[in-house]
Structure formats: structure tokens, C-alpha cells
Amino acid sequence: MVKVLVVDDSAIVRRILATELDRDPEISVVGTAADPYIARDKIVKLRPEVLTLDVEMPRMDGITFLRKLMKHFPLPVIVVSSLTNKGGEVAMEALEAGAMDVLCKPGGSYSVGDIAVLLREKVKAIAKSGVPKQAIPATTSPGTTIRSMTKTTNMIIAIGASTGGTEAIKQVLTRFPANSPGVLIVQHMPEKFTTSFAQRLNELCALEVREAQDGDSVSPGVALLAPGNFHMVLRRSGARYWVSVKDGPRVFHQRPSVEVMFRSVSRIAGSNAVGAILTGMGADGAQGLLEMKEAGAPTIAQDEKTCIVYGMPREAVKLGAAQEILPLPTIADSIFKYVDQHSRKVDSTHRGSAASANNVNS
């Protein structure tokens, strides 16, 4: 039984979250708190295993409280924030301060039912992972990128992640060179939150990172992040790769879904791609990664030791979908090992074709 404390200044939100969490027989809401000061006392008294935390509260904001909590009494925390531009920005701050995941409050595009299903699953997943892990140090100094490629390639790099994925994606993407092959990313996050996440990555990375829009070309030096509440699929027109951003049923309770993106990459790019599945709960993307592997694409799964939640990668490994199972700090290097191999193979093919043409003409 996972013991949960719900912290939010809205009595209505506290009641909704507590009621929906208590519907799961594996979860027990041991208390609620209207602000961080009440939460502090209840944490000491009730010893919850997971906290849900609002960020905009009176007396002390959630980010300040979160930083104090992680320093003195670290607990797995899921931030539940309002679906606004400001909400997205503070959600990113919360993740950097130690929160393990973020969700939006019910309303607008997200019903109580949608949020309740995700929240219950996230609570159980992060409870199993225990106290938040420290970020795994990279193998190179911060900001050091993989060497720039001598030539561009039309390969597609596809990356999927969920719980813990914002830090994992940051560690991988900040090592990519400015002329990296085009990158497609699905991170389970609500709309507004993905906008802020893309902006934050763009400030840190050598390549351009932006939230995808329908019809965007997949180009070298650009990483496209699937917008929250929309699926992103790869398309092709002649030599041009582009993305379709669309509505549709949730897959594994998710929209965007890693599965949807990986399957489109397997069909459209085939062996002209490399896939990586990172930390996250559930099974989203596991079958899609297998389809990429069967289409001839190299595939990578993050290992259990460096995952915040070893769910999606574990399911991929169980299916035999991962060609390699690697710790987070080595994944970027492995991706570009395959990019280099593909580039050399293409060069060899072109040289062979040119030699054959010369022989015919001589």
C-alpha cells in the first residue's frame, strides 16, 4: 500500500485528487495539506511515501518547499500544476529542483478521468523507485558535445521517455553536435509543459530544439519535441522527411505516445534510423522499438541502474527490442557510433555505384 500526502491550496483539488487516488486498492491517501507548513508537519507525523505537490501556494511556494524537502527529507514528488504558460515554466523548475514527474490539474483538454489514471500509475511507479536518485554524471564535462560530423546525413534519431525523462533527454541531447541528424522526441508531458521543456533544451543544446508543428521538416541540426496532448508521426515525401502532429486516441494512456512515433519511424525510415527508449513507467514504445529493430534500425534501451523508473526500457528488453542496454551517460556516444557506421555504409555504396558506372562507360 503506497501512502500518499496531497498538498494543494485548493480544497476542491485536494478532494478530487484524494478521492481519485483512493480508488486504487494499492494506494492510501494518509492526509492532505493546504500549504507547505502544514505539509511539513504531516510528513513528519504520517511518513508518506509519495507527495503530490502544487507549486503556486500561499505562505511558501512549492518550488521553495521542494528544495527544502529534497535537502532535509527527500521524498518522491509528483508536481500537479495549472495548465498555463507560467505553470509550464514552474513545472520545469520543479523537475530541476528534484520532482520526479509533472501533471496538469484537471480541466480543459484533460478530464478528471484522464489525470486520475495517469496519477495513480505514476504514484505506484515512483513509489517503487524510492528516494529520488541523483543525476548520473556524464562521461564528459558539462556542455561538451560529441565531435561534429564531417558531413550531414539524412538519418532519423528517435527518442522516447516518460518519468525521469526530462533529465535523461537533457543529458543525451546536450551532447549532440550542432549538425546532428534530425531528432524526434516524445516525452510524456501535458501541453504548455512541453513548450517550456523545448525552450529549456534549446537554451542548453548545440542543435536547435523546438516543439513540433504539423508539417515541420525533419532536418539536420534540429530536434522536434512532440507537443503535449498530440501524437507526432514521421512522414516522407520524396527525399524530404516531415512530421504530422495530430489528435487521436491515447495509446498506453498517453498522447503523445512513444509507440505511435516509433512505429511511424520503423515504417517510414526503416534502417535509416536509430531508436532509444529511456526511463519511464509502463510499456509505451516497447513494441514500437521492436518494430524499428525488425526494420533494420539500431535500438538502445537505458539500463535499470540509471533509470528513475525502469518500466518502458524493461518492457523493451523483455521483448528483445533493444540491440544494446546502456547506462545513460553512454547513450549519446552509442547513437553516434551508429550514425557514423551508417554514414560510412552510405559512402561505400555510393563509391561502389560510381565505380560500376565508370566501368560501364569505359
Q: What is the pLDDT of residues 43-81, one digit of tens each?
A: 999 999 999 999 888 888 889 999 999 999 999 999 998
CATH number for the domain spanning 94: value is 3.40.50.2300
Q: What is the pLDDT of residue 110?
A: 77
Kindly state whether residue 138 falls inside one of the protein's structural domains. no
How far apart, in whole angstroms, are the C-alpha atoms of residue 76 and residue 131? 6
Contact of 317 with 289, CB cutoff 8 Å? no
How far apart, in whole angstroms, are the C-alpha atoms of residue 201 and residue 171? 10
Q: Which of 81, 82, 162, 196 is catalytic?
A: 162
For residue 139, pLDDT beyond 70: no
The pLDDT of 358-362, averaged and rounded, is 53
* Residues 19 and 166 both lie in one domain: no
Point out the domain boundary residue: 90, 112, 129.
129
Q: How many angstroms separate the Cα of 355 from the Cα of each of 153, 345, 350, 351?
A: 22, 15, 9, 6
Please report the DSSP string for 9-41 in residue order.
S-HHHHHHHHHHHHTSTTEEEEEEESSHHHHHH
* Residues 167 and 106 both lie in one domain: no
Domain hosting residue 309, numbered range: 156-341
- Alpha helix segments (H runs only) across the chain: 11-22, 36-46, 62-72, 85-97, 112-129, 165-173, 193-204, 258-268, 286-294, 312-318, 328-361
- pLDDT above 70 covers a percentage of the chain that reads 89
Q: What is the pLDDT of residue 58?
A: 81
Q: What is the pLDDT of residue 135?
A: 44
* Residues 66 and 109 both lie in one domain: yes
* Residues 185 and 102 both lie in one domain: no
Average pLDDT, the chain: 89
How far apart, in whole angstroms, are the C-alpha atoms of residue 348 and residue 362? 21
CATH number for the domain spanning 245: value is 3.40.50.180
Q: Amino acid identity of 331?
A: I
Q: What is the pLDDT of residue 142?
A: 42
The pLDDT of 173-202, averaged and rounded, is 95
Q: Per DSSP, what are the bridge partners of residue 78?
A: 52, 101
Q: What is the pLDDT of residue 301?
A: 98
The overall longest dimension of the chain from CA atoms, in Å, is: 88
Counting Cβ atoms within 10 Å, is residue 186 exposed (0-12), middle (13-18) or buried (19+)? buried
Point out the domain boundary residue: 114, 129, 144.
129
Kindly state whether residue 351 falls inside one of the protein's structural domains. no
| Least confident window among 25-34, 136-145, 212-221, 228-237 | 136-145
302-337 confidence digits (pLDDT tens):
999 999 999 999 999 999 999 999 999 999 999 999
Kindly state whether residue 100 falls inside one of the protein's structural domains. yes
* Residues 99 and 172 both lie in one domain: no
* Residues 303 and 167 both lie in one domain: yes
Q: What is the pLDDT of residue 124?
A: 94
* Residues 125 and 160 both lie in one domain: no
Which DSSP category does 191 fall into? T
For residue 153, pLDDT beyond 80: no
How far apart, in whole angstroms, are the C-alpha atoms of residue 159 and residue 318? 19
Kindly state whether residue 350 falls inside one of the protein's structural domains. no
Q: Please indicate whether residue 141 is annotated as part of the active site.
A: no
How far apart, in whole angstroms, are the C-alpha atoms of residue 165 and residue 278? 7
Q: Please indicate whether residue 8 is annotated as part of the active site.
A: no
Q: What is the pLDDT of residue 149?
A: 59
Point out the domain boundary residue: 79, 114, 129.
129
For residue 137, pLDDT beyond 60: no
Q: Assign residue 4 a region (left: φ > 0; alpha: ψ between -120 and 50; beta: otherwise).
A: beta
How far apart, in whole angstroms, are the C-alpha atoms of residue 227 and residue 193? 9
* Residues 124 and 162 both lie in one domain: no
Kindly state whether residue 139 falls inside one of the protein's structural domains. no
Kindly state whether residue 173 falls inside one of the protein's structural domains. yes
* Residues 81 and 230 both lie in one domain: no
Q: Which of 8, 114, 180, 188 is catalytic?
A: 188
The pLDDT of 6-22, averaged and rounded, is 95
Q: Please indicate whether residue 162 is annotated as part of the active site.
A: yes
Q: pLDDT higher for 320 or 104?
A: 320
Counting Cβ atoms within 10 Å, is residue 249 exposed (0-12), middle (13-18) or buried (19+)? exposed
The residue to which cell 520524396 is assigned:
238
For residue 134, pLDDT beyond 60: no
Kindly state whether residue 142 falls inside one of the protein's structural domains. no
Q: What is the pLDDT of residue 154?
A: 82
Which DSSP category does 308 fall into? S
249-302 confidence digits (pLDDT tens):
999 999 999 999 999 999 999 999 999 999 999 999 999 999 999 999 999 999
* Residues 102 and 202 both lie in one domain: no
Q: pLDDT higher for 112 or 143?
A: 112
Kindly state whether residue 361 falls inside one of the protein's structural domains. no
* Residues 219 and 102 both lie in one domain: no
Q: Which of 284, 303, 342, 343 is catalytic?
A: 284
Q: What is the pLDDT of residue 171?
A: 96
Q: How many domains does the chain have?
A: 2
* Residues 234 and 332 both lie in one domain: yes
Q: What is the pLDDT of residue 136?
A: 45
Q: What is the pLDDT of residue 355?
A: 46
The pLDDT of 336-340, averaged and rounded, is 94
Q: pLDDT higher for 83 or 235?
A: 235
